[in-house]
Structure 1
Amino acid sequence: MQPTSKILSGLMGLCVGDALGVPVEFTSRAERVKMPVTEMTGYGTYNQPPGTWSDDSSLTFCLANSLCAGFSLEAIGDAFGWWYSEGYWTPYGEVFDVGNTTRQAITNLQRGVLPLNAGLTSASNNGNGSLMRILPLSFYYKNLSFSELIERVHQVSRITHGHCRSQIACGIYTSIAINLLKRLDPKSAYLQGIKNIKSIYTQPVTVREINSHFHRVFSGNIETLSIDEIHSTGYVIHTLEAALWCLLNTSSYAESVLKAVNLGEDTDTTAAVTGGLAGIYYGLENIPKEWVAQIARKDDIVALATRLEAAINSSSKK
């Protein structure tokens, strides 16, 4: 497989991180310190073979595939439903992991609730289920104004995760990813990303959320926190902070995703969110080839990235 676009390196980077974390999901940090993950393994938590990716990658690929035909919240919601009910965009035709908030939202969609109303809106529904799949929208940064793109990010989050905290986390992540796509180094992309997104979040409700829950991210020095101050649960703030911390405290793709996995707990999602950013920055050629070789349906992922790139290029010419 030859190194090609940042789209492929981002999608594959996310998927490889996910697959590294799947076998040890829900294990403690103490367990990971005692027996750190150093390579692609299998079985473990879900008894899946090496290279198996989870709902994180599945829903990312569902979003990416839907975007190939244009932006439609209904089509994205339908794809999520097909994944949940029929195993669409799964490694082996079956779903083995799904978050409670995502499950309830997809049930809402299947009952006919409109996509923008399907996502749960309670503060207790701020898991990382929309953050983990939002990366494909960042690839449209040349096609849309920044404010238009972030509005789409918020809408796609709302399909499953409707609380403003989840939407803001997706916006921050996308803003940083865009600056990595512009070839800034991780620290510069982080600083520019939080600067750019803060100009969007000026409404009182978002300002309150940022001041209450995102102050560590907007400090501009998230990487200076100690490992004991970084949490790796399924809470969206924890995942965003951990991913940025791992990216900014490492100097290679492999180092970044292994650091994420070895934080323990929600290992697949922390590594997927980290891996999407690291994949963009370091490129496919710097993702260990032996890891990529083991990824389930890797040729389908390459083909998806090619289709998405063609769709983006086509829409930019209109």
Structure 2
Amino acid sequence: MKEMGQKEFSEKLELAKGLEESILRFSDERNQENLNKIFASIEELINNGGGLLLAADPAGEKDGQQQINLKFLKTEEGKSYAAAFTNVEEQKAGNEGQQSSAVLLPVAELLQIAANHPHSDGVVINPFSNSFILLKEAIVALQNKMRTQNVEERLKGSAGIFQAVAAYHEEQKKLPEGEAMPEDKKRAGIERVLQGFLQAMELNAQLLVAIVSTEKKEGEIADGQVLLNHLTTQDGRDAIAVFTSGEQIEKNPAETAAIAMPVQDVLKAAIHISESGKMDGLIINPWSQSFFLSLDMVKWLLDAKMRGEERAKENEEKRAMTQGLSETMLYSALIGGSLGIAKEKNALGEAPYGEQAFRYRPAMGSVLLAEFHSLNTERKLSFPDMQEKFYDWKSKGMYALEGQEQDAVETMDASIMRFATGKGPKDSGVDAEDDSFLSRMLPFAMMLCRRLHQFSDIDRAMLHDAVRLTNNNPKAMLMGELYATMLRNLVLHLGGESLEEQLQAAANYVALFYEEEEAENEEEKHLNEEAKEQHREDVKDYDALVASFEILKPFLDLKSLEGKKAEELSGKESCEATLLLATWVLLNSKSYQEAVESALSVKGSKNLPVVVSTLAAAYYGLSQIPKDWVNALAGKEEVREIAIEWQMRWLD
């Protein structure tokens, strides 16, 4: 047994105080209520991992484990009880003047030893004071009770399987007698059952599996111990019978023996048996609403589980980038901005780019830092404060690189002027479709990446308001929402494993909210109108955004976009054109660096490299941004400070 420190020893023994008090109450008044409280205290002690001192002598090591010899107390009737104590004082009480030894064991382990020992009749707790005898029969009954409770709890995780099978049968009932279920509904029903199994495996749920009584010789061996029972279906298929609850077993008038097994182990057992004998699959709840899970489906589930585990591991590694997400994204935005200005000034040169290409900070880069700084200082989203900081940038040169002239951004200048004349943040933007606002959407997109955050209409409205600071235009709002959703999907790897799947899922998600579908009947038309009214309440200018839906259509088929040539998409500087070209660049690149260099080689606006750089960084991570690019970035110390503070306040 593993040695433990004094602190851990004291903590585990401290948990036994409740049992000690329960025994004391029972000694004072021996009634059923107090007896029940003792057993409840033992259960609580087991569940909390508490321990008792067991009288025992060391017996050396075996296979690296310390062995013990139990010390028994014998009664006049010839009964032998293992002695256990709730504290050190109790253990020493009956051994005055004698050397005594005891070992602290988890209560569950202690009871298991006592129940299985051939010379044990049970356990006596605190034998030298207010003692309580726990007979072996009582130990076994307590173990069975707790085992049953655990099984019932774990069976709950398989409820999704039962519900999916029940739904499948409900669909069948709707059809005229004898009519086969349409293929699409059948496929949907099977998919629901498979999803139920996948969910049950995620929850470590169990199923009850029919076993053969030990006196019978038929059946197959699973793990060398358990004989699994087989049923033959009406069409001659051989299947293992599994049940989602004890109630399902009881629907058969004949007695059925069953054991609880983890869902994944049940599936593995079916594959194992099929390799050594006949086995066609599993039959779920055979006595009521049954469902046959073929061996192909079993294999698919195990493969899906394995793929899911591999994907979860990969995603966990990728999601680690959120620990330094703000640093990654701010560096990427300012790198893209600097390269875009260098290209405009004919100072870029050929790749690999020299240090000079990273010495610029565009106007929208300064505006971006102003937004991050506002979120840091205000500790909340304050559009008025952001506008104040935009004004400080324009009038005092804050957030700009010292001695460097800022490039002109018409919509930005117009917005600041309108704010200076008394317009509110949501009214200061001008009706423009240019792409400059995409360069400052980063902090709002990153707010969607907060842990456990669920996207809602509040987020959608927040994104629109962020765009409206400079561009009070529905097309700009749609592109701002799409950009933010793309970045969120790439950071959190939502929508699929590949870059294309994640981008496509983002476009589909945004389009779903605004796409108008024709109702098939009056009831559906009424429901659609109710949904629209709710959307109008939650999202300002909802109807104007719906009217601009056409600009989303090119994003809804990224496979065809990927096959286009750059010349078909480049040369335009609207927000739609820039985001579409940025998406094309990403889909036709295989690394962060390749994507950014490609953005600089095509004919696009100075903001294109910013959009490409941020989206590529979201997907590939900080480690893929060339270190010499980061090291050469002008003002990176200031950027890093802002990023670390934002990370602490908004993500960590």
Give the TM-score taking structure 2 as reference length: 0.43
- Paired with 1:193 and 1:301, the residues of 2 have a C-alpha distance of 29
Supply the AA of the counterpart residue of 1:225: K
Counting only pairs closer than 5 Å after superposition, residues 9-48 of structure 1 correspond to structure 2 as 9-25=328-344, 36-40=350-354, 42=356
Supply the AA of the counterpart residue of 1:129: S
Counting only pairs closer than 5 Å after superposition, residues 41-56 of structure 1 correspond to structure 2 as 42=356, 50-56=358-364
1:135 to 425, 438, 442: 442
| 8 Å Cα contact 2:335/2:358 also seen in 1 | no
1:231 to 570, 573, 582: 570
1:190 to 503, 514, 525: 503
User: Which one has a larger percent helix, Structure 1 or Structure 2?
Assistant: 1
1:78 to 365, 368, 388: 388
- Paired with 1:250 and 1:111, the residues of 2 have a C-alpha distance of 45
- Paired with 1:54 and 1:74, the residues of 2 have a C-alpha distance of 23
Of 82-91 and 153-162, the range deviating more from structure 2:
82-91
Of 97-106 and 143-152, the range deviating more from structure 2:
143-152
Supply the AA of the counterpart residue of 1:195: N
Question: In the alignment, does 2:456 pair up with 1:146?
Answer: yes
- Paired with 2:571 and 2:647, the residues of 1 have a C-alpha distance of 32
Q: 2:589 matched to which residue of 1?
A: 250
| 8 Å Cα contact 1:87/1:95 also seen in 2 | no
- Paired with 1:6 and 1:180, the residues of 2 have a C-alpha distance of 12
Q: Deviations over 1:126-179 (max 9, x none)?
A: 111211110111222234633222211110110110011111110000011010
Alignment gaps of 5+ in structure 2: 1-320, 516-541
Supply the AA of the counterpart residue of 1:264: K
Count of aligned pairs: 295
Counting only pairs closer than 5 Å after superposition, residues 140-179 of structure 1 correspond to structure 2 as 140-141=447-448, 142=450, 143=453, 145-179=455-489
Change (3 A) 1:86 1:233: farther
Q: 1:209 matched to which residue of 2?
A: 548
- Paired with 1:67 and 1:56, the residues of 2 have a C-alpha distance of 17
SS at match of 1:234: coil
- Paired with 1:84 and 1:56, the residues of 2 have a C-alpha distance of 11
- Paired with 2:510 and 2:388, the residues of 1 have a C-alpha distance of 29
Q: Deviations over 1:49-72 (max 9, x none)?
A: 742121232222211221222101
Supply the AA of the counterpart residue of 1:307: E
Change (3 A) 1:40 1:233: farther
CA-based RMSD of the aligned residues comes to: 2.2
Supply the AA of the counterpart residue of 1:177: L
Of 74-83 and 142-151, the range deviating more from structure 2:
142-151
Supply the AA of the counterpart residue of 1:227: A
Counting only pairs closer than 5 Å after superposition, residues 57-72 of structure 1 correspond to structure 2 as 57-68=365-376, 69-72=379-382
Q: Deviations over 1:180-207 (max 9, x none)?
A: 1113542122011112212332554323
- Paired with 1:154 and 1:26, the residues of 2 have a C-alpha distance of 32
User: Which one has a larger percent strand, Structure 1 or Structure 2?
Assistant: 2
- Paired with 1:260 and 1:75, the residues of 2 have a C-alpha distance of 33
Supply the AA of the counterpart residue of 1:228: E
Question: In the alignment, does 2:416 pair up with 1:106?
Answer: yes
Give the TM-score taking structure 1 as reference length: 0.86
SS at match of 2:481: helix
Change (3 A) 1:197 1:98: same
- Paired with 2:438 and 2:358, the residues of 1 have a C-alpha distance of 24
| 8 Å Cα contact 2:475/2:548 also seen in 1 | yes
> CA shift at 1:312, angstroms?
0.9
| 8 Å Cα contact 1:138/1:175 also seen in 2 | yes
Q: 1:259 matched to which residue of 2?
A: 598
SS at match of 1:187: helix
- Paired with 2:334 and 2:350, the residues of 1 have a C-alpha distance of 20
- Paired with 1:95 and 1:137, the residues of 2 have a C-alpha distance of 27
Q: 1:45 matched to which residue of 2?
A: none
| 8 Å Cα contact 1:223/1:248 also seen in 2 | yes
> CA shift at 1:37, angstroms?
4.6
> CA shift at 1:89, angstroms?
1.2
Change (3 A) 1:235 1:113: same
Supply the AA of the counterpart residue of 1:59: V
- Ranked by relative contact order (alpha carbons within 8 Å, sequence separation 6 or more), the top structure is 1
Supply the AA of the counterpart residue of 1:67: L
| 8 Å Cα contact 1:105/1:159 also seen in 2 | yes
- Paired with 1:179 and 1:232, the residues of 2 have a C-alpha distance of 28
Bigger Rg, which one = 2
Alignment gaps of 5+ in structure 1: 43-48
Counting only pairs closer than 5 Å after superposition, residues 276-295 of structure 1 correspond to structure 2 as 276-295=614-633
SS at match of 1:5: helix
